[in-house]
Amino acid sequence: MEFCPKCGTVMFPKGDCFECKNCEYTTKITKESVKEYEISEKVSTNDSIIVTSDDIQTLPTTTVKCPKCDNKEASWWLIQTRGADESETRFFRCTKCSCTWREYD
């Protein structure tokens, strides 16, 4: 992954260069940058990469009882599902059985 030396934004490949979408700084893609980051496939700047695998455990966890299996640990995240003047909705996913539930304030 290349970062723009001017503004710090992630730079994306475009042709044979890395381009900053924020300030339009460009730099040539070199063998060193390709080898260092092991770029094996070019991705169009118009493509979105969305990771949907449940194997990646990057969410924070908390102690909470699962309503399905009584496990005491779950991953959690917040999403603004109602009006901007109301609090976010808390979602939990059990680390054992993957049961997902929500809580409101």
Active site (catalytic) residues = 85-86
7 marked as binding residue = yes
94 marked as binding residue = yes
Rounded CA-CA distance 105/87 in Å is 7
99 marked as binding residue = no
Consecutive H or E run containing 34: helix 31-37
State phi, psi for 46 to the nearest 5 degrees.
-85, -10
17 marked as binding residue = no
Residue 39 neighbours by CB under 8 Å, 6+ apart: 13, 33
4 marked as binding residue = yes
Single-letter code of the amino acid located at 54? D
Give the residue ranges of the annotated binding site: 4, 7, 20, 23, 66, 69, 94, 97
Give the residue ranges of the annotated binding site for Zn(2+): 4, 7, 20, 23, 66, 69, 94, 97
